[in-house]
Chains A and B, each alone.
Chain A
Amino acid sequence: MSAVENKLRREGASTRRTQMRHLFQGWLAHHRLSAADSLARVLDHPFASTLTWLVLGIALALPAALTVALDNARALSDRWDSPAQLSLFLSGSVSADEAQSLSAALQQRPDVEHVAFVSRDAALAEFSVLSGFADVLETLERNPLPDVLLLTPVPGSDAAPALYTELAADPRIAEVVLDMAWLERLNTLMQISRRVVWALGSVLVAGVVLILGNTIRLSIESRREEIVVIKLVGGSNAFVRRPFLYTGLWYGVGGGVFAALLVASALWLLGGPVMRLAELYQSNFRLGGLGIMGSLNLVLIGGCLGLAGAWLAVTRHLRLIAPR
Chain B
Amino acid sequence: MITFDRVSKRYEEGHEALSEVSVEIRQDEMVFLTGHSGAGKSTLLRLIMLIERPSRGQLIVDGQNLAKVGERGIPRHRRNIGVVFQNHQLLFDRSVFHNVALPLVIGGYEQREIGRRVRAALDKVGLLSKERALPVTLSGGEQQRVGIARAVVARPRILLADEPTGNLDPLLSAEIMQLFEAFSQVGVTVLIASHDLALISRMRHRILTLRGGRLVGTGA
Contacts and interface: CB of A to CB of B under 8 A. Distances in A.
B51 A23 contact: no
A324 B105 contact: no
Contacts of B75: 231, 234-237, 239
Given A229-B89, A232-B83, A234-B78, A25 B110 contact: yes
Contacts of A228: 89
B93 to A, nearest CB: 8
Contacts of B14: none
Nearest to A33: B105
Given A228-B89, A324-B51, A233 B110 contact: no
A218 interface: no
A236 B103 CA distance: 11
A226 B92 CA distance: 9
A114 interface: no
Contact of A27 (B90, B91, B108): B108
Nearest to A226: B91
Interface residues of B, number: 22
A324 B89 CA distance: 12
B110 A234 contact: no
Contacts of B198: none
A23 B150 contact: no
Contacts of A233: 78-79, 83, 102-103, 106, 150
A22 interface: yes
Contacts, number: 64
A71 to B, nearest CB: 48
A30 interface: yes
Nearest to A319: B71
Contacts of B107: 26, 234
Given A234-B79, A234-B103, A323-B51, A22 B91 contact: no
A232 B106 contact: no
* Interface range, A side: 20 to 34
Interface in A236-278: 236-237, 239
B51 A30 contact: no
Contacts of A237: 75
B106 A239 contact: yes
Contacts of A106: none
Contacts of B81: 234
Nearest to B150: A233
Scoring B89, B90, B106 by chain A CB atoms within 10 A of each residue's CB, the highest score goes to: B106
Nearest to A34: B105
Contacts of A22: 108-110
A233 B105 CA distance: 11
B96 interface: no
Contacts of B137: none
Interface in A288-324: 322-324
A23 B76 CA distance: 14
Contacts of A25: 108, 110
B111 interface: yes
Interface string A92-113: 0000000000000000000000
Interface in B107-126: 107-111
A26 B79 CA distance: 15
Contacts of B106: 230, 233-236, 239
Contacts of A229: 89-91, 102
Interface string A215-234: 00000000001101111111
Nearest to B78: A234
Nearest to B109: A26
A226 B110 CA distance: 22
B49 A232 contact: yes
Contacts of B91: 225-226, 229
A234 B89 contact: no
A29 interface: yes
Contacts of B108: 22-23, 25-27, 29-30
Contacts of A225: 89, 91
Most chain B CB inside 10 Å of its own CB: which residue of A26, A230, A233: A233
Nearest to A24: B108
A30 B111 CA distance: 10
A228 B83 CA distance: 13
Interface in A63-101: none
A234 B78 CA distance: 5
Interface of B: 49, 51, 75-79, 81, 83, 89-91, 102-103, 105-111, 150
Given A234-B77, A236-B75, 6 more contacts: A27-B108, A29-B108, A229-B102, A230-B102, A235-B106, A237-B75
Interface of A: 22-23, 25-27, 29-30, 33, 225-226, 228-237, 239, 322-324
List 8 A-B pairs, minimum CB-CB distance, nearest first: A26-B108, A234-B79, A234-B78, A236-B75, A235-B106, A234-B75, A233-B103, A23-B108
13 contacts: A25-B108, A29-B110, A30-B108, A225-B89, A229-B91, A232-B49, A232-B78, A232-B89, A233-B78, A235-B75, A235-B102, A236-B75, A324-B51
